[in-house]
Amino acid sequence: MPQNDQALLTRLKENGLEFVVIGGVCVVYHGAPLATFDLDICCAFGEPNLRRIEAALRDLNPVHRLTPNKLPLELTPHLCASLKNLYLQTDLGKLDCLGEVAGIGDYDAVLKQSVVAQFSYGEFRFLTLDGLITAKQAAGRERDLAALRHLLAIKERISRGPNGPEPSP
Amino acid sequence: MCDEETLAQMNGKYACPPDAGPAWREAMATGIDMSLIEHALTLTPEQRLAEHQQVIDFLSSLPGASLFHAAE
């Protein structure tokens, strides 16, 4: 299934979900040339927001992609109270929704370390470069460390002043 | 005629900016293609995501893409 991050972001926003883009797409946002095949967001978990996610994806055949039988996304009050993350496969690609980000904390903490990006198709919040570096350092997996090398170089390049390329937000 | 350094760059040697800092040099030493980062930093964030989408679309069109996604 093709990954269409723009369409996923737009659907989530149109359904009233407040979220911050994290993960690989955020790495790309800040200028690292690394391909990623899912969209990771952080949002407050709880039934209202989970229902918004469900509404945004309703016609996209969302399933819990890490369950062996690819269980469909069918929320109940009990499930909503138990979920801390969602790892979904949809007809528009993979969407991972996290309630917390390692090294930063819950959605409120992530929100404080986010920046608004204005795109032609809407405004979206992304984790700041410093926040992303913190998260990658905390995650510590090999792929995170590879991204971290890119991000540290970008941060350094931006901080070195006016002769460098156009600054990343 | 061109000098050896220019020829090496034509052959793929990355010309590290003289003012590059330690993080930039460390990343370069690990084999990261810094020219790709330099290019990305000349783009707006929206352009970066659009370019990334093109890469994803292309990679997804390759014959082995289904195997790749299965392995993720």
pLDDT digits (tens, 9 = 90+) for A80-134: 999 999 999 999 999 999 999 999 999 999 999 999 999 999 999 999 999 999 9
**Residue from the list A33, A157, A169 with its beta carbon closest to the beta carbon of B24:** A157
Q: How far is A77 from chain B (nearest CA, A)?
A: 31
- What pTM did the predictor assign? 0.87
Q: In chain B, where are the structural domains located? A: 7-71
**Residue in A135, A131, A119 with CA at minimum distance from that of residue A155:** A131
How many other C-beta atoms lie within 10 A of the C-beta of residue A67?
A: 10
> pLDDT tens digits for A5-61?
999 999 999 999 999 999 999 999 999 999 998 999 999 999 999 999 999 999 999
**Residue from the list B23, B38, B55 with its beta carbon closest to the beta carbon of A156:** B23
Distance CA A19, CA A8 (A): 12
Q: How far is B17 from chain A (nearest CA, A)?
A: 10
Asked casually if ipTM beats, i.e. exceeds, 0.85, the reply is: no
Distance CA A109, CA A111 (A): 5
Interchain CB contact of A85 with B (< 8 Å): no
Count Cβ neighbours within 10 Å for each residue of A37-51 and write b for 16 or more, e otherwise. Answer: ebbbbbbbbeeebbe
What is the number of residues in chain B? 72
- Residue A113's SS3 state is coil
Distance CA A114, CA A87 (A): 22
What are the residues whose beta carbons fall under 8 Å from the beta carbon of B6, sequence distance 6 or more? none
Q: What number of C-beta contacts closer than 8 Å exist between A and B? A: 95
Interchain CB contact of A37 with B (< 8 Å): yes
- Residue A136's SS3 state is helix
Contacting B residues, span 2-61, partner chain A, CB-CB under 8 Å: 19-24, 26-28, 30, 32-34, 36-43, 45-46, 48-49, 52-53, 55-57, 59-60
**Residue from the list B37, B53, B69 with its beta carbon closest to the beta carbon of A154:** B37
Reading chain B (72 residues) residue by residue, the pLDDT tens digits are: 688 887 777 777 788 888 999 999 999 998 888 989 999 999 999 999 999 999 888 888 777 766 555 544
pLDDT at A164 over 50: no
Distance CA B55, CA A58 (A): 27
Inter-chain contact B56–A168, Cβ cutoff 8 Å? no
Count Cβ neighbours within 10 Å for each residue of B9-42 and write b for 16 or more, e otherwise. Answer: eeeeeeeeeeebeebbeebbeeebebeebbebbe
Interchain CB contact of A68 with B (< 8 Å): no
A5-128 has CATH 3.30.460 classification = yes
Q: Concatenated DSSP letters for A13-56?
A: HHTT---EEEHHHHHHHTT-----SSEEEE---SHHHHHHHHHH
